[in-house]
Amino acid sequence: MNTANLSTSWAVIGASGFIGLRTVEGLHGRDGVNLRPVVRSATSLAVLARRRLDWRIADPRDLPALTEALRGCPVCLHAALGDPVQIERMATIAYRACAAAGVRRLVWLSSASVHGQNPPPGTDESTPLHESHPLAYNNAKVRAERRLEQLARDGRVEVVRLRPGVVFGPRSRWITDAAADLRAGRAGWLGRGRGVCNSIHVDNLVHALRLAATVPAAAGEAFLVGDAETVAWRDFLLPIALHLGLDETAFAEPPPAPLVAERTPPLAALTRTRLYQRLGDAVPDRAKRLVKGLASAWPAPAPARDAWVLPRAPAGRLTLEQTLLQGCAWKLPHAKAARLLGYVPPVPFAAGLATSLEWLDFAEGRT
Ligand SMILES: NC(=O)c1ccc[n+]([C@@H]2O[C@H](COP(=O)([O-])OP(=O)(O)OC[C@H]3O[C@@H](n4cnc5c(N)ncnc54)[C@H](OP(=O)(O)O)[C@@H]3O)[C@@H](O)[C@H]2O)c1
């Protein structure tokens, strides 16, 4: 542990990720608040360790370690990601660790995809959620939110849920993947990119995170947050192509992906049953660690993909996610965030995209 001398500290779980890192960069030292990055391993500190920060190492799935890492922080911002099963589990563990460590407020990064990538017109935070989305990620995010609402009924921790859409900015995979697809000649869009892209520049999200952490009226609420402008996918994708010296002809018009739901592996489905969760709650942590230790002595199968990542489109096809996203006809409103949090996005879309492309040049060694 680094030993910086701190006043008020907010913990950031998943501080090594795209949003977590930008949150630390944007909020550390502001208004007398210091940020305490909480990461799962020493290798996750590669960028963070360049600054004098009071970081801790704790896996967001390890309740005792996480509890220790959160002690002394009145606020915890959760920006970690796992596979769909881990997303749900992380919500429970985050709440319990916050409660045990005396954290007053947990700000949970949920996602606009709890409403689907192509939400019906009129959707806002009052629209009931469901768990029948074709993408497992969406359903996991819904379950995580529900679990947090349920846990927060004991009143030990205030929970605020933020639902951003497409979060872009420097270091964003939305930028690097689009550039890679364009260069590889496999970029595609639907209806010439006329669908609505519910974008939010990462610095606008960091601003919303700060408000969610501090505004008393936010307690217990969920907020959609986005950019001020209504952005079409072509407003997002075409400037990337032009920046690379390409034009509109770089985008193919592949047929939309068939609307087939992702399959849930049987073991993941088992972990979601009430009986399994009750058993999990009843078994003491020490016993769980013992079982895990014994299990790890067996030869391991090939590791599963760790966190949810944007699926890449096969050449000449759109992924299901792209099909849904680009078929969107509804700009998700952030009127509730404006009203209760005073949220006004500080970064205009065009300026945010320009700095993202500047970063791309830097990352690819062109500046
Ligand atoms: N990016 C978007 O467009 C977007 C949109 C809506 C919502 N969100 C939500 O915002 C949050 C942050 O997203 P992001 O884009 O910043 O993700 P990211 O860049 O992939 O970062 C994920 C973070 O979670 C950690 N992590 C990944 N797998 C883990 C595991 N199995 N166990 C423990 N830690 C793990 C990573 O640690 P390592 O560095 O050690 O790998 C990293 O710190 C997520 O909850 C995501 O659902 C993102």
What is the number of the ligand 1 atom nearest to the C-alpha of 172? Answer: 1
Does residue 209 contact residue 77 with C-beta atoms inside 8 Å? yes
Task: Quote the pTM value.
Answer: 0.89
Q: Is 23 in the pocket of ligand 1 (CB under 6 A)?
A: no
pLDDT tens digit string along 74-130? 999 999 999 999 999 999 999 999 999 999 999 999 999 999 999 999 999 999 999
Q: Is 202 in the pocket of ligand 1 (CB under 6 A)?
A: no
Pairing relationship of beta strands 33-39 and 105-109 according to DSSP bridges: unpaired
Q: Is 55 in the pocket of ligand 1 (CB under 6 A)?
A: no
Q: Is 18 in the pocket of ligand 1 (CB under 6 A)?
A: yes
Average pLDDT score over residue span 248-277: 76
pLDDT at 298: 45
Q: How far is CA 116 from the centre of its chain?
A: 15
Average pLDDT score over residue span 338-364: 97
pLDDT tens digit string along 222-237? 999 999 999 999 999 9
Residue 295 scores a pLDDT above 50: no
DSSP 320-349: HHHHHHHT-------HHIIIII-----S-H
pLDDT at 5: 42
Confidence band of 289 (pLDDT split at 50, 70, 90)? low
Does residue 39 contact residue 11 with C-beta atoms inside 8 Å? no
Residue 9 scores a pLDDT above 70: yes
Q: Is 306 in the pocket of ligand 1 (CB under 6 A)?
A: yes
Task: Name the residue with higher pLDDT: 290 or 54.
Answer: 54
Does residue 15 contact residue 37 with C-beta atoms inside 8 Å? yes
Confidence band of 256 (pLDDT split at 50, 70, 90)? confident
What distance separates the 2 farthest-apart alpha carbons in the chain?
Answer: 59
Q: How far is CA 334 from the centre of its chain?
A: 17
How far apart, in Å, are the Cα atoms of 201 and each of 32, 168, 217?
Answer: 25, 5, 24
Q: Is 14 in the pocket of ligand 1 (CB under 6 A)?
A: yes
Task: Name the residue with higher pLDDT: 103 or 285.
Answer: 103
Average model confidence (pLDDT) for the chain?
Answer: 90
Separation of CA 307 and ligand 1 centre (Å): 7
CA angle 327, 194, 351 (to 5 degrees): 115
Instruction: Say which DSSP state 303 is in.
Output: P
Counting ligand 1 atoms within 8 A of each CB, the residue from 81, 137, 168 with the most, and so the one to mutate, is 81
Residue type, 120: P
What is the number of the ligand 1 atom nearest to the C-alpha of 309? Answer: 20
Counting ligand 1 atoms within 8 A of each CB, the residue from 13, 19, 59, 86 with the most, and so the one to mutate, is 19
Confidence band of 276 (pLDDT split at 50, 70, 90)? low
pLDDT at 4: 42
Average pLDDT score over residue span 246-267: 85
Task: Name the residue with higher pLDDT: 295 or 227.
Answer: 227
Highest mean pLDDT among 94-108, 277-291, 301-315: 94-108
pLDDT at 78: 98
Separation of CA 18 and ligand 1 centre (Å): 7
pLDDT at 149: 98
Angstrom distance (rounded) from CA 98 to CA 102: 6
HSE-CB at 144 with a 13 A cutoff on CA atoms is: 35
Considering only CA atoms, which residue is closest to atom 32 of ligand 1?
82
Q: Is 254 in the pocket of ligand 1 (CB under 6 A)?
A: no
Q: Is 66 in the pocket of ligand 1 (CB under 6 A)?
A: no
What is the number of the ligand 1 atom nearest to the C-alpha of 137? Answer: 47
Strand partners, 231: 197
Query: Which secondary structure element, helix H or strand E, spans residue 77, and what is its range?
Result: strand 75-78
Does residue 357 contact residue 175 with C-beta atoms inside 8 Å? yes
